[in-house]
């Protein structure tokens, strides 16, 4: 590998955190909101809204709406902590939803665990 050839694990980490993690979290949080009842609904809704905001921020330049104070604030929040803070906050909200006693569809928790473990593993590997 030469100096200008990027590490494949680093490329996988960047691709995963930019185009897979939040999008998948939006889907599983929406499923928890649809199928949820009681107290598990609210943290899942917060996770959905935060993750959807992150997805909108990622794809805003492609759509041509990458201007204005709202986008600038969201892009700065997405860049905080190397981009990991914007990924971990909605993930923690979904985790709170999964810890509630009346959460339904526990297989969503398994999917979230695999997504989070993959993200943290790639992050650790690139450090």
Q: What pLDDT digit, counting tens, does each position of 82-117 carry?
A: 899 999 999 999 999 999 988 889 999 999 999 999
Q: Please name the residue that has the structure tokens 């509630």.
A: 100
Q: Is residue 94 part of a domain?
A: yes
Residue range of the domain that includes 42:
29-121
Closest CA to 70 of 60, 80, 81: 60
DSSP state letters, 33-51 = HHH--GGGHHHHHHHHHHH
Q: Is residue 6 part of a domain?
A: no
Number of domains making up the chain: 1
Q: Please name the residue that has the structure tokens 């598990």.
A: 40
Q: Is residue 126 part of a domain?
A: no
- pLDDT tens digits for 22-31? 999 999 999 9
Predicted pLDDT at 34:
95
Predicted pLDDT at 37:
85
Q: Is residue 79 part of a domain?
A: yes
Question: 1 pLDDT band (50/70/90 cuts)?
Answer: low
Calculate mean pLDDT across residues 1-28.
Answer: 91
Cβ-proximal residues to 22 (8 Å cutoff; 6+ apart), any chain: 51, 54, 55, 58, 86, 87, 90
Q: Is residue 85 part of a domain?
A: yes
Predicted pLDDT at 65:
87
Predicted pLDDT at 20:
98
Residue 19, pLDDT above cutoff 90: yes
Q: pTM surpassing 0.95?
A: no
Q: Is residue 11 part of a domain?
A: no
CA 21 to chain centre: 5
Q: Is residue 96 part of a domain?
A: yes
- pLDDT tens digits for 43-76? 999 999 999 999 999 999 998 888 888 999 999 9
Q: Is residue 37 part of a domain?
A: yes
């Amino acid at each position: 590998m030469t100096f200008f050839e990027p590490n494949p694990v680093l490329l996988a980490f960047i691709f995963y955190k930019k185009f897979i993690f939040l999008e998948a979290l939006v889907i599983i949080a929406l499923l928890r909101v649809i199928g949820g009842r009681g107290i598990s609904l609210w943290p899942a809704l917060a996770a959905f809204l935060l993750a959807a905001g992150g997805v909108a921020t990622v794809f805003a330049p492609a759509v041509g709406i990458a201007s204005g104070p709202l986008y600038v604030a969201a892009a700065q929040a997405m860049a905080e902590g190397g981009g990991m803070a914007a990924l971990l906050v909605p993930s923690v909200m979904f985790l709170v939803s999964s810890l509630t006693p009346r959460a339904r569809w526990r297989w969503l928790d398994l999917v979230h665990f695999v997504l989070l473990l993959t993200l943290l593993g790639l992050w650790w590997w690139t450090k």
